Amino acid sequence: MDDSTSMSNFVLSPFASYLTDIQQALTWSMLSFLIFGNIGNLLNCFVFLQRPLRSNPCSHYLFVSSITNSIALSFTIPTGIYAMEQMDLTSYSLIYCKFRLYIYHSLLMISRYLIILACFDRACLSSRRPAIRNLSHIRFARILSVFTIVFWFIGAAHLPLVVDIQFGDCILPGVYPLIFSIYAVIFAGIIPPVAMTIFSAFTLRNLHSVHVRIHSRSAPTNAVMRQRDIHLTRMLTAQVIIYVLTTTPYPLNTLYAAITLSTTKGSDRQAIEGFIYFVTSTFLLFINPSATFYIYFTTSKAFRTELQAACKRLWLNILRKPQNQSSVRNISSNVQPQANPRQTR
């Protein structure tokens, strides 16, 4: 959807035309990301707002991340499909050109760093030290969530300042593609997967230590993670794996594109690089925001149980309302007005 290669100035070769057709098919297939991703993120919010998980800091991070993912999907995918089928508004509106990439980028960065905080929370909760475990608190999670949102909307403000329309394309001009690629490699390609991996490794090590101490009958009661927290850790670990697989190619390809920007390229090479850029910067990037619910559902029995219980509670509440209303009407109809003593005399 943010294709840096314009192929409108020359006749496409059969191979380039074939890649263009594949890209269009993949773009249309992203409607499934939009539909099932939004359904999944809404179900995530529904589960994480239930009483057993509402005060859990890890659930709070995942809840805010689900909202962010849903907004990112709803904002980016429909506009990308419209640009492919009708007209690319980023090539005609400078304001839209500047703020589409800014909002899209900010939301994805917020989601990524909320997952880092969720991994950090799991590492703190599984620690043997009470002072570190105390960092896993819902009030602390709310403060860090707000800070992350504000930080990335301010930190990404450089994008609308430099993005411009040149030669009919919404681009990063001058040497800024190289600067942005280095920035993307550091803040999207290195820090998130490294931080997630480190915190997840600490969590798994701490859980193993707890497991050993349980079998040796020397584990204090407050050192043992509850079953719900263990399942949240399993869900988070699976999401980290999917994130690394789907996100790491994007900053690497961005860096390659910036380095070879001044290289003379034939039509087939431009088509290949444009297709790879689309896959890494759009198609793969939206797998993680649209698949979180299905990752949680398949990796955690506790999540499935909580979803089932939440749906059952909702259904019972819906059924109770008509029953309560009918009961009130029956009670009202059975109550007879008392006779006025003055009228009976």
**Sign of CA pseudo-dihedral 284, 285, 289, 290:** negative
**Residue 276 to residues 23, 82, 269, 271: CA-CA distances in angstroms?**
10, 21, 10, 9
Asked if residue 288 belongs to a domain, the reply is: yes
158-167, 180-189, 220-229: which range is least confident on average?
A: 220-229
**Quick one: DSSP state of residue 299?**
H
| Contact assessment for residue 287 and residue 242, using Cβ atoms and an 8 Å cutoff | yes
Q: Is it the case that residue 20 has pLDDT exceeding 60?
A: yes
Asked if residue 151 belongs to a domain, the reply is: yes
Q: Which domain CATH number covers 283? A: 1.20.1070.10
Q: Which amino acid is at 211?
A: H
Which spans in the chain are helix H?
Answer: 14-48, 51-54, 57-85, 94-125, 130-133, 138-155, 158-162, 176-184, 191-215, 227-247, 249-259, 267-278, 287-299, 301-334, 341-344
Asked if residue 315 belongs to a domain, the reply is: no
- The total of other beta-carbon atoms located within 10 Å of residue 232's CB is 28
272-290 pLDDT, tens digit per residue, is 888 998 899 889 989 999 9
Record the tokens describing residue 241, joined without a space.
């794996």
Asked if residue 11 belongs to a domain, the reply is: no
What's the rounded mean pLDDT across residues 198-214? 73
* pLDDT score recorded for residue 334: 57
Asked if residue 47 belongs to a domain, the reply is: yes
Q: Supply the range of the domain harboring residue 181.
A: 21-307
Asked if residue 332 belongs to a domain, the reply is: no
Q: Is it the case that residue 6 has pLDDT exceeding 90?
A: no
pTM above 0.85, yes or no: no
140-152 pLDDT, tens digit per residue, is 999 999 999 999 9
For residues 54 and 59, what is the distance between their CA atoms, to the nearest angstrom?
Answer: 7
Asked if residue 283 belongs to a domain, the reply is: yes
**Sign of CA pseudo-dihedral 299, 305, 306, 311:** positive
Record the tokens describing residue 2, joined without a space.
């943010």
Domain count, the chain: 1
Asked if residue 331 belongs to a domain, the reply is: no
* pLDDT score recorded for residue 15: 80
52-88 pLDDT, tens digit per residue, is 888 899 999 999 999 999 999 998 899 888 887 777 7
- String of DSSP letters for 125-179: HT-S-HHHHTT--HHHHHHHHHHHHHHHHHHTTHHHHH-EEETTEEE--TTHHHH
110-137 pLDDT, tens digit per residue, is 999 999 999 999 899 888 888 998 999 9
